[in-house]
Amino acid sequence: MLAALVLLVVAKIAAVLAIYGLSMLITQLGLVLLLTAFMLLLAIVFVDALNIIIKQCIAYFSPQQRTQRKFLFMQSKRTQIEQLFYFKTLQMGYFAEVKRKQLLNANNREHIRQLSKTIDKELHLLKQQLPATDFKQLQEENSRYRNCQDSLGLLALQQKITALR
Protein backbone atom coordinates (compact mmCIF):
# COMPACT_ATOMS: atom_id res chain seq x y z
CA MET A 1 0.00 0.00 0.00
CA LEU A 2 2.89 2.27 0.83
CA ALA A 3 4.51 1.51 -2.52
CA ALA A 4 1.25 2.44 -4.26
CA LEU A 5 1.13 5.75 -2.41
CA VAL A 6 4.77 6.46 -3.32
CA LEU A 7 4.01 5.71 -6.99
CA LEU A 8 0.99 8.04 -6.94
CA VAL A 9 3.14 10.84 -5.46
CA VAL A 10 5.81 10.23 -8.18
CA ALA A 11 3.03 10.36 -10.84
CA LYS A 12 1.90 13.72 -9.44
CA ILE A 13 5.47 15.02 -9.58
CA ALA A 14 5.80 13.75 -13.17
CA ALA A 15 2.56 15.52 -14.09
CA VAL A 16 3.85 18.74 -12.59
CA LEU A 17 7.07 18.34 -14.63
CA ALA A 18 4.90 17.89 -17.73
CA ILE A 19 5.84 14.25 -18.37
CA TYR A 20 2.26 13.13 -19.06
CA GLY A 21 2.89 9.73 -20.62
CA LEU A 22 5.08 8.58 -17.76
CA SER A 23 2.67 10.18 -15.30
CA MET A 24 -0.30 8.17 -16.67
CA LEU A 25 1.68 4.93 -16.69
CA ILE A 26 2.88 5.43 -13.10
CA THR A 27 -0.66 6.43 -12.00
CA GLN A 28 -2.13 3.25 -13.49
CA LEU A 29 0.63 1.15 -11.92
CA GLY A 30 0.02 2.86 -8.54
CA LEU A 31 -3.75 2.28 -8.79
CA VAL A 32 -3.26 -1.39 -9.68
CA LEU A 33 -0.84 -1.76 -6.79
CA LEU A 34 -3.32 0.00 -4.42
CA LEU A 35 -6.19 -2.22 -5.63
CA THR A 36 -4.01 -5.29 -5.13
CA ALA A 37 -3.13 -4.13 -1.60
CA PHE A 38 -6.83 -3.71 -0.75
CA MET A 39 -7.68 -7.09 -2.21
CA LEU A 40 -4.85 -8.65 -0.19
CA LEU A 41 -6.14 -6.89 2.94
CA LEU A 42 -9.68 -8.18 2.30
CA ALA A 43 -8.34 -11.70 1.69
CA ILE A 44 -6.41 -11.60 4.99
CA VAL A 45 -9.52 -10.36 6.88
CA PHE A 46 -11.66 -13.05 5.20
CA VAL A 47 -9.14 -15.81 6.02
CA ASP A 48 -8.84 -14.60 9.63
CA ALA A 49 -12.64 -14.44 10.03
CA LEU A 50 -12.98 -17.91 8.51
CA ASN A 51 -10.23 -19.18 10.83
CA ILE A 52 -12.01 -17.71 13.88
CA ILE A 53 -15.36 -19.19 12.79
CA ILE A 54 -13.82 -22.63 12.28
CA LYS A 55 -12.07 -22.51 15.67
CA GLN A 56 -15.31 -21.43 17.38
CA CYS A 57 -17.27 -24.22 15.66
CA ILE A 58 -14.68 -26.78 16.70
CA ALA A 59 -14.79 -25.44 20.27
CA TYR A 60 -18.62 -25.39 20.25
CA PHE A 61 -18.90 -29.00 19.15
CA SER A 62 -16.10 -30.26 21.39
CA PRO A 63 -17.01 -32.97 23.91
CA GLN A 64 -16.21 -30.68 26.83
CA GLN A 65 -18.58 -27.96 25.56
CA ARG A 66 -21.31 -30.50 24.77
CA THR A 67 -21.02 -31.89 28.30
CA GLN A 68 -21.13 -28.41 29.78
CA ARG A 69 -24.22 -27.45 27.71
CA LYS A 70 -25.93 -30.70 28.70
CA PHE A 71 -25.13 -30.02 32.38
CA LEU A 72 -26.46 -26.45 32.14
CA PHE A 73 -29.61 -27.72 30.40
CA MET A 74 -30.21 -30.32 33.09
CA GLN A 75 -29.55 -27.75 35.82
CA SER A 76 -32.01 -25.36 34.20
CA LYS A 77 -34.59 -28.13 33.82
CA ARG A 78 -34.18 -29.07 37.50
CA THR A 79 -34.67 -25.45 38.57
CA GLN A 80 -37.75 -25.24 36.36
CA ILE A 81 -39.18 -28.44 37.90
CA GLU A 82 -38.46 -27.18 41.43
CA GLN A 83 -40.26 -23.90 40.68
CA LEU A 84 -43.17 -25.80 39.14
CA PHE A 85 -43.37 -28.02 42.23
CA TYR A 86 -43.33 -24.97 44.51
CA PHE A 87 -46.09 -23.20 42.59
CA LYS A 88 -48.18 -26.37 42.28
CA THR A 89 -47.87 -26.80 46.06
CA LEU A 90 -49.01 -23.22 46.58
CA GLN A 91 -51.89 -23.75 44.18
CA MET A 92 -52.99 -26.96 45.87
CA GLY A 93 -52.83 -25.27 49.28
CA TYR A 94 -54.90 -22.36 47.98
CA PHE A 95 -57.59 -24.62 46.49
CA ALA A 96 -57.65 -26.79 49.62
CA GLU A 97 -58.17 -23.66 51.74
CA VAL A 98 -60.96 -22.45 49.44
CA LYS A 99 -62.65 -25.86 49.61
CA ARG A 100 -62.25 -25.95 53.41
CA LYS A 101 -63.89 -22.52 53.70
CA GLN A 102 -66.73 -23.60 51.41
CA LEU A 103 -67.34 -26.70 53.50
CA LEU A 104 -67.14 -24.68 56.71
CA ASN A 105 -69.66 -22.14 55.40
CA ALA A 106 -71.99 -24.91 54.23
CA ASN A 107 -71.68 -26.62 57.63
CA ASN A 108 -72.37 -23.33 59.43
CA ARG A 109 -75.42 -22.66 57.25
CA GLU A 110 -76.74 -26.16 57.99
CA HIS A 111 -76.23 -25.74 61.75
CA ILE A 112 -77.92 -22.33 61.68
CA ARG A 113 -80.84 -23.82 59.75
CA GLN A 114 -81.18 -26.66 62.28
CA LEU A 115 -80.90 -24.26 65.22
CA SER A 116 -83.57 -22.05 63.66
CA LYS A 117 -85.87 -25.08 63.21
CA THR A 118 -85.33 -26.04 66.83
CA ILE A 119 -86.12 -22.51 67.96
CA ASP A 120 -89.22 -22.52 65.77
CA LYS A 121 -90.40 -25.78 67.35
CA GLU A 122 -89.81 -24.41 70.85
CA LEU A 123 -91.73 -21.27 69.93
CA HIS A 124 -94.69 -23.32 68.72
CA LEU A 125 -94.61 -25.25 71.99
CA LEU A 126 -94.74 -21.93 73.89
CA LYS A 127 -97.31 -20.31 71.59
CA GLN A 128 -100.15 -20.84 74.07
CA GLN A 129 -98.15 -19.33 76.96
CA LEU A 130 -96.93 -16.18 75.13
CA PRO A 131 -98.84 -13.10 74.08
CA ALA A 132 -99.32 -12.87 70.27
CA THR A 133 -97.07 -9.81 69.93
CA ASP A 134 -94.20 -11.49 71.81
CA PHE A 135 -94.64 -14.66 69.80
CA LYS A 136 -94.61 -12.69 66.52
CA GLN A 137 -91.54 -10.70 67.67
CA LEU A 138 -89.64 -13.87 68.60
CA GLN A 139 -90.50 -15.43 65.23
CA GLU A 140 -89.27 -12.31 63.43
CA GLU A 141 -86.03 -12.38 65.42
CA ASN A 142 -85.57 -16.04 64.55
CA SER A 143 -86.16 -15.29 60.86
CA ARG A 144 -83.84 -12.25 60.88
CA TYR A 145 -81.00 -14.11 62.64
CA ARG A 146 -81.41 -17.09 60.28
CA ASN A 147 -81.32 -14.87 57.17
CA CYS A 148 -78.30 -12.95 58.47
CA GLN A 149 -76.53 -16.21 59.34
CA ASP A 150 -76.05 -14.91 62.88
CA SER A 151 -75.40 -17.99 64.98
CA LEU A 152 -74.68 -16.00 68.16
CA GLY A 153 -77.98 -14.17 67.81
CA LEU A 154 -79.80 -17.50 67.38
CA LEU A 155 -78.09 -18.92 70.48
CA ALA A 156 -79.05 -15.82 72.49
CA LEU A 157 -82.62 -16.15 71.21
CA GLN A 158 -82.70 -19.82 72.21
CA GLN A 159 -81.52 -18.91 75.74
CA LYS A 160 -84.13 -16.19 75.89
CA ILE A 161 -86.85 -18.70 74.93
CA THR A 162 -85.51 -21.22 77.44
CA ALA A 163 -85.70 -18.55 80.14
CA LEU A 164 -89.35 -17.93 79.26
CA ARG A 165 -90.33 -21.53 80.12
Amino acid 16: pLDDT: 81
Greater pLDDT, 29 or 139? 139
Backbone angles phi, psi at 19, to 5 degrees: -105, 80
Which residue, 37, 145, 147, 8, is CA-closest to 159? 145
Amino acid 10: pLDDT: 85
With a cut of 80, say whether residue 52 has pLDDT above it. yes
Question: pLDDT for 60-72, tens place per residue?
Answer: 999 999 999 999 9
- 5 neighbors 38 (Cβ within 8 angstroms): no
Residues 6+ apart with CB under 8 A from 3: 33
Amino acid 38: pLDDT: 92
Which DSSP symbol is given to 53?
H
